[in-house]
Structure 1
């Protein structure tokens, strides 16, 4: 069993003052930083995923901006792998799956943001590729959402997506 920690989109635009703040992202980042430190001590493989929009008119993660950069609390070290993605699924056109196969990774721990987009898409794809997936909910951030006339708070969105992932795609702790 070889494991890897994947940190998804813990980037400046998701924090207060950024273009697309996620509720309680500071707490998420604090939890993510602690998990990252443990992974580094255990010499697990650490992979950082950075989302960048394809247009400088996108609502957030615009190319070449400070908002699209990693948050300093979880900045990658020079010996850690970084993948750039342009879609919610971290496996889509990134080489992530090939890299994990080359390392012999079978087990993934996934953290980051946003739970209802990139965490959800990546976890489902990872399971479809056959990985054993663990999601640490305290290190994942969700944003409030609305569909039709139904408004959901960020904690409700988080609970809905974590419960769905826990049913068939991951161990959620």
Structure 2
């Protein structure tokens, strides 16, 4: 069975991007899915001094290993001022130090949401260009604008029919590449 790893690039306990990635994986059958809640995973800010002094945390190495073992990766990136969050950038910095090509030949589905009309498109665009440096193949993206209007947290589902169709199309395109 093919394996997917999925997470949001946010460490917020109330992350709307975690809600989106959780919804996304709920639509997938016939895959072994590892859904990570990054609010429960802490990493110190990256510094070469810290890296030399303490090396890599076990949780970081385990995450890198899980990514390497997966057939595909789903990441829902949050947005702070038009860019991925400092937490997500920090996570990528650490992972790339453990293994520069930690995403080697992995298909990655990048999605994101925000409460604004742009739906994290700035963050998605930055991430879409960043991840190939580490070996990722990013060909499928999805943006969910106006999260509060287009997603029911209580029910755990998207509510806008047109966006549901676009999301499903992007997700299916991603899954076809893995098979």
TM-score (norm 1): 0.45
TM-score (norm 2): 0.43
The answer to which structure has the higher helix fraction is: 2
